[in-house]
Structure 1
Amino acid sequence: MLKPVETAVARFSMVMGGLVLVLMMLQVVVDVFMRAFLGAGFPATPDLVGKYYMVAVSVLPLALTELKRRHIEATIFTQKLTGAPLKAVLLFGFLVFGAVLAVLLYGSFGEAMRQMDRGAYIEAGTMRFITWPSYWILPFSFGLALIVIAIRIIEVLTGQFRDGDHDPLDQVDAMREDA
C-alpha cells in the first residue's frame, strides 16, 4: 500500500540529486573554461553553487538514505533484540527522528517564508542574485524525509517493517566483486 509512495520519493530524490550534481558540474566547468579562455567567469557561480547546489546536494538525499536504510546506527545494544522489544526500540527511534524532522521542517518553512516575503538576494558584482528560492530546498527535503518516517512508523505499528540484518562489510565486499 505504501510502496508506491516510497518508490516515488526514491525516484524523485535520485533524479533531482543527479540533476543538481550534473548542473553544478556543468556550471563549474563552464566557469573554469570562461575564466581560462575569456578572462571572466560565469556570473555568480560561487553564489549559485553555495546557495543552491550545495544545499540541495546536502539535504535532498535525506529521504533516500532512510528509504535505503543507510543512516548510521549504533546497534550494539539492540542487535540481539527480537519481537516486541525490537518493535518498541524501532518505534521510539522513528518517533524521535520524526519529531526532529518536524521541528526542522517548521523552522525552515518559517525561514523560507520570511526570505520569500522580503525578496532575499545578494549582490553579485553588478547584479542582484535572488536567493529566496534556495530557502525552500530545506523544508521540501525535510518534508520528504518526514513522509518516509511516517511510512516507517506505520510499517512498525502494522508489523510490516522488515529491517534485514545487513553487515556493512558484506556490502563493501559485494561492491568489490561487482567492480
Structure 2
Amino acid sequence: MIRNPLEWVSEALVTVTTIPVLAMMVHVTLDVVLKYTVNTPIQGTLEVTAYYYMVAIVVLPMGFVELTRQSIAVELFYQMMSPRMQVAVVGFVLLLSAIGYGGVAWISWPDAIKAFERKEIVMGAVRVYIWPARFLLPCAMMLAAAVCLMLFARLLFKPRARAELTAVHTADIDHGAD
C-alpha cells in the first residue's frame, strides 16, 4: 500500500522523536553524574532540556497521534449514537481539531520568525540559541492540522475509511490472572 506524504512524515517524526528522548536521557544523566561525582554539572542542561528536548518530544508526534486516532476521547454517549450521527461527530471533531491545530500554528509562526530575526537566546550559565526550537511548534501543529483535514476528506469520500474512523477503540485492560 502506498502511503501519502502526510502519513509518511507523521510516521517518520515518531521515529525521529526517539532522538531527543535518548539525547535528553543521556544529557541529564551525564549532568547529574558529573554534578555529584566531580562537582562539575553540564552548563545549559536546563535550557536545552526545556527549549529543545521537551518541546520536540511533545509536538513532533502530534501528526501521528491524529493519524492513528489515539488522542484522548470520552465516548460516553458516542456508542449510543446512530452510525450517521457518529460520522457527523467524528467529522465535527476532525474539523475542530484542524482549526485548533491550524490556529496554534498561525499564532506561533510569527513568534518563530521574530525569534529567528533576533537570533533569540536564553542566558543562563551559558548562552543557548533557542530560535531554532521556536519552529517546532508551528510546523508540527500545521502537520497535525493537515492530517485532520486528510482524515476528514477520507471520512466524507471513502466508505471503508469512514468505518475505520468511526469505530470505537477500546483499551484492552489486563485484569491479571483469572
Q: Same fold (TM over 0.5)?
A: yes
CA-to-aligned-CA distance 1:42-71 (integer Å, 9 cap, x gap)? 120011001111111122222222222221
Runs of 4 or more consecutive aligned structure 1 residues displaced over 3 Å after TM superposition: 1-7
1:167 aligns with 2:166: no
Report how far residue 82 of structure 1 moved.
Answer: 3.7
The answer to whether the 8 A contact 1:2-1:151 is kept is no
Structure 2: 5+ residue stretches without partners: none
How many residue pairs match? The answer is 173
Distance 2:9 2:174 in 1: 28
Distance 2:109 2:70 in 1: 26
For residue 170 of structure 2, what is the amino acid of its counterpart? D
CA-to-aligned-CA distance 1:106-145 (integer Å, 9 cap, x gap)? 01111101111111101122x3211111111101210221
**CA RMSD of superposed structures (Å):** 2.2
Query: What residue number does 2:155 align with?
Result: 156
Report how far residue 165 of structure 1 moved.
Answer: 2.4
Distance 2:133 2:107 in 1: 15
Judged with a 3 Å threshold, the aligned counterparts in structure 2 of structure 1 residues 96 and 109 are, in CA distance, closer, same or farther, namely: same
Query: What residue number does 1:99 align with?
Result: 99
Note the 1:15-164 alignment, pairs <5 A: 15-125=15-125, 127-159=126-158, 160-161=161-162, 162-163=164-165, 164=167
Distance 1:10 1:136 in 2: 16
CA-to-aligned-CA distance 1:52-105 (integer Å, 9 cap, x gap)? 111111222222222222212122222133443222221111111111111101
Task: Report the identity percentage.
Answer: 23
Distance 2:154 2:85 in 1: 16
Matched position secondary structure for 1:43: coil
CA-to-aligned-CA distance 1:19-61 (integer Å, 9 cap, x gap)? 1100000111111122123321112001100111111112222
